């Protein structure tokens, strides 16, 4: 597609002693529409050239040659603003769209690069809490977007399925399993876990039995392994109720247990590095010079821990996937953990490229409008119930708005789930999220349902028009109204938007983009008749509607949201 940014940078580069690639990097897309399509800020140049930014902007402006894709330029403060020729913009978008259609925005940008996205990663026999919902949704959106940009993407659910707690679970299960139905397996397993913990506190001997169970599990004794497998199966069947509702998939479910027999190598390497030291009976890597507490590698009782399994996973993944990036979508509560293991990973004798590729993609907490959502017992928000409640609420709204609607159930599911997903992905991930039903399902707000609503509108316009969108017959002069150009400009930016999502690992950039596209289309729709006597205009406007339709659908799908046909 005609790359305005590059072309403008080329022109600027002719006037100053700065590399074109540098100019491209500093160029911005102004937030205000009346500031043009692109802006070149001159503040950084001011330092090297020892002149005021505004003077530099003026000088560049004067030296700029005439170029046929620029409508006008303007100096505002320290910025040089560029207005591109609308016909050329419209032409570029239509041509690109015509060649790519449903694949618009898809690229080979990431070709040859291997990206691991590790997400969801709930713990076996423990509730799937609202934080796990966030990692699942953020991870899924990133996974989809990387894939669309041509990266070889590997989605891993690093299940929390190992650790000494399983020795306890086994003991509790042995003793009391007949008292439970396991209809709600995770609930019952949690109850057993609480009970066995109490007993362990009272009775040292029981604790010893638990230790023995875990040892047997580590040694792969049949009985313990079979119980562990049972817990895993029961838990996964619960987790998959949620994954199925969300339609989330993984390429690998290799969790912590998978690394049980791969930790010794890590310990050996660390041992050899001379950095593994004894501390109160445990083996640790001292990180004082990095201002961090030591990273424990082996506990005093000899058993390995969470961090060691993560290190073994890093080693394994370098070999198995040769990753360029390995993203960990995990709550910010684990910031220190990841800082520690990324530091210790430097001792694993792996190529620096792998170290540089490790990235903790952290995210904030969820608050109910009425306060913090606690995961403490008794006050646990059950994710499956939350999703189903959203579907129920969506059903009620649909019944009010459109009582005779067909396929109500299917639509309500798309709207209810879509609303939750969009809400989760609508702000920078590190921000704590406010969960407020009224907002989430508001058809007029900046919400999932709003995007679906505008999408449904484009669909019905296309159906009513009964003509096939035809790019060849378009005269770009028919698409120059400011509202139409706003839609076109947004469409032009789709691919760049996806690239920013992956550059920053921030799905909200796409969420905001979709709101902008929906709003821009809505403004166009409200101000102009799409279908009229004028055949050419009708054709052009239908094509605009068609492009909007495809991109709203594609973008929403990348976030994990499905679009209803009617609403």
User: Any idea which residues carry the catalytic annotation?
Assistant: 126, 129, 132
Site residues (CB under 6 A) for ligand ARG, limited to 140-159 = 158
Q: Read off the DSSP letter of residue 426.
A: S
Rounded to whole angstroms, how far apart are CA atoms 234 and 220? 20
Angle of helix 86-100 relative to helix 482-492, nearest 10 degrees, comes to: 50
Q: In the Cβ-directed half-sphere of 295, how many Cα atoms lie within 13 Å?
A: 27
> CA 423: distance to chain centroid?
12
Tell me the CB-side half-sphere exposure of residue 493, using CA atoms within 13 A. Answer: 21
Closer to ligand ARG by CB, 310 or 495: give it.
310
* Ranges within 309-328 binding ligand ARG (CB under 6 A): 310, 328
Angle, to 10 degrees, between the axis of helix 222-246 and the axis of helix 130-148? 70
- Enumerate the H helices of 346-382 as residue ranges: 352-357
The answer to the question of residue 234 lying near ligand ARG (CB under 6 A) is no
Of 57 and 341, which has the nearer Cβ to ligand ARG? 341
Shortest Cβ distance from residue 310 to ligand ARG (Å)?
5
Cβ nearer to ligand ARG, comparing 118 with 424? 118
Q: Would you say 1 and 88 are in contact if contact means Cβ atoms under 8 Å apart?
A: no
Residues 422/448, Cβ–Cβ less than 8 Å: yes
Q: x/- contact string, 275-314, with ligand ARG (CB under 6 A)?
A: -----------------------------------x----
Smallest gap from residue 157 Cβ to ligand ARG (A): 9
Tokens representing 20? 């074109």
User: By C-beta, is 158 or 541 nearer to ligand ARG?
Assistant: 158
Given the complex with ligand ARG, which of 120 and 522 has the nearer CB atom? 120
Q: How far is the CB of 276 from ligand ARG (least distance, A)?
A: 20
Q: How far apart are CA 208 and CA 214, in angstroms?
A: 10
Binding pattern to ligand ARG, positions 81-120, x when CB under 6 A? -------------------------------------x--
Distances (CA, A) of 256 to 220, 308, 319: 15, 10, 17
Which residues in 382-441 contact ligand ARG (CB under 6 A)?
Answer: none
Residue 167 has phi, psi (to 5 degrees) of: -65, -40
- The Cα 36–Cα 44 span in angstroms is 20
Question: Among residues 105 and 122, whose Cβ is nearest to ligand ARG?
Answer: 122
CB 139 to ligand ARG: min, Å: 11
Least distance to ligand ARG, CB of residue 160, Å: 3
Q: Is residue 537 at the binding interface for ligand ARG, with CB under 6 A as the rule? A: no
How far apart, in whole angstroms, are the C-alpha atoms of residue 120 and residue 110? 24
Between residues 46 and 386, which has the closer beta carbon with respect to ligand ARG?
Answer: 386
* Binding residues among 114-133 for ligand ARG as defined by CB under 6 A: 118, 121-123
Residue of minimal CB distance from ligand ARG? 160
* Cα–Cα distance for residue pair 11/31, rounded to 1 Å: 23
Cβ-based nearer residue to ligand ARG, 342 or 546: 342
Is 258 near ligand ARG (CB under 6 A)? no
Considering the complex, state which of residue 265 and residue 389 has its C-beta at the smaller distance from ligand ARG.
Answer: 265
Shortest spacing between CB 255 and ligand ARG, in angstroms = 8
Instruction: Indicate whether 160 belongs to the interface with ligand ARG (CB under 6 A).
Output: yes
Please name the residues in contact with 383: beta carbons below 8 A apart, sequence gap of 6 or more: 128, 129, 130, 132, 133, 242
- 109 burial type by CB count under 10 A (0-12 exposed, 13-18 middle, 19+ buried): middle
Exposed, middle or buried, 321 (CB in 10 Å: 0-12/13-18/19+)? Answer: middle
Spell out where 148-268 has E strands.
152-156
| # residues near ligand ARG by CB under 6 A | 9
Q: Output the smallest distance, CB 466 to ligand ARG, in A.
A: 52
Least distance (Å) between residue 215 CB and ligand ARG? 22
Both tokens of 25, joined, read 């990097």
- Which is closer to ligand ARG, CB of 51 or CB of 337? 337
Q: Helix-strand-coil percent breakdown of the chain, rounded to 5?
A: 60, 10, 30
The reply on whether position 362 binds ligand ARG by CB under 6 A is no
Considering the complex, what minimum distance in angstroms separates the CB of residue 423 from ligand ARG? Answer: 21
Contacts for 534 with CB less than 8 Å, ≥ 6 apart = none
Cβ at position 122, least distance to ligand ARG in Å:
6
Containing H/E element for 335?
helix 335-345
394 neighbors 386 (Cβ within 8 angstroms): no
74: CB partners within 8 A, 6+ apart: 36, 80, 81, 83
Q: Which residues bind ligand ARG (CB under 6 A)?
A: 118, 121-123, 158, 160, 310, 328, 330
């Amino acid at each position: 597609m005609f790359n305005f940014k590059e072309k403008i940078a080329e022109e600027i580069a002719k006037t100053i002693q700065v590399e074109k690639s540098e100019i491209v990097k500093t160029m911005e897309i102004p937030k205000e529409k009346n500031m043009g399509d692109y802006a070149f800020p001159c503040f950084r140049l001011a330092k090297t050239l020892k002149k005021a930014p505004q003077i530099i902007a003026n000088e560049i402006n004067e030296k700029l040659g005439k170029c046929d894709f620029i409508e006008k330029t303007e100096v505002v403060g320290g910025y040089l603003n560029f207005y591109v020729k609308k016909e050329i913009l419209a032409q570029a978008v239509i041509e690109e769209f015509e060649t790519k259609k449903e694949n618009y925005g898809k690229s080979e940008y990431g070709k040859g690069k291997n990206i691991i996205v590790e997400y969801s990663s709930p713990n076996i026999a423990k509730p799937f809490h609202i934080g796990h919902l966030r990692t699942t949704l953020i991870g899924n959106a990133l996974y989809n977007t990387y894939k669309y940009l041509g990266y070889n993407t590997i989605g891993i659910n690093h299940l929390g399925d190992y650790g000494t707690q399983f020795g306890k679970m086994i003991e509790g299960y042995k003793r009391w399993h007949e008292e439970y139905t396991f209809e709600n397996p995770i609930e019952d397993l949690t109850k057993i876990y609480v009970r066995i913990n109490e007993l362990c506190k009272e009775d040292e001997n029981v604790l010893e039995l638990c230790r023995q169970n875990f040892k047997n599990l580590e040694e792969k004794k049949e009985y313990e392994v079979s119980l562990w497998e049972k817990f895993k199966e029961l838990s996964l069947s619960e987790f998959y109720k949620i994954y199925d509702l969300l339609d989330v998939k993984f390429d690998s479910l290799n969790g912590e247990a998978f690394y049980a027999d791969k930790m010794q190598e890590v310990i050996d390497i660390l041992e050899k590095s001379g950095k593994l030291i004894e501390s109160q009976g445990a083996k640790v890597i001292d990180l004082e010079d990095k201002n961090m507490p030591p990273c424990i590698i082996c506990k005093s009782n000899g058993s390995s821990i969470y961090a060691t399994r993560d290190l073994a996973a890093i080693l394994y993944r370098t070999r198995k996937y040769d990753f360029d990036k390995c993203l960990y979508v995990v709550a910010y509560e684990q910031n220190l953990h990841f800082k520690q293991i990324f530091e210790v990973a430097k001792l694993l004798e792996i190529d620096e490229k792998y170290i540089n590729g490790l990235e903790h993609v952290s995210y904030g907490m969820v608050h109910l409008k009425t306060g913090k959502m606690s995961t403490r017992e008794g006050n646990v928000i059950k994710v499956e119930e939350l999703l189903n409640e959203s579907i129920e609420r969506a059903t009620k709204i649909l019944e009010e708005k459109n009582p005779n609607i067909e396929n109500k159930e299917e639509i309500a599911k798309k709207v209810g789930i879509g609303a939750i997903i969009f809400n989760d992905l609508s702000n920078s991930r590190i921000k704590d999220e406010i969960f407020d039903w009224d907002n989430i399902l508001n058809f007029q707000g900046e919400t999932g349902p709003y995007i679906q609503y505008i999408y449904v509108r484009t669909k019905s316009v296309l159906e009513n028009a009964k003509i096939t969108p035809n790019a060849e017959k378009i005269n770009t002069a028919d698409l120059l109204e400011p509202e139409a150009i706003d839609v076109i400009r947004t469409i032009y930016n789709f691919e760049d938007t996806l690239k920013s999502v992956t550059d920053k690992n921030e799905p909200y950039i796409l969420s905001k983009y979709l709101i902008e596209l929906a709003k821009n289309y809505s403004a166009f729709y409200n101000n102009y008749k799409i279908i009229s006597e004028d055949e050419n205009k009708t054709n052009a406007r239908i094509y605009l509607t068609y492009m909007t339709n495809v991109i709203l659908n594609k973008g929403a799908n990348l976030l994990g949201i499905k679009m209803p046909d009617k609403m």
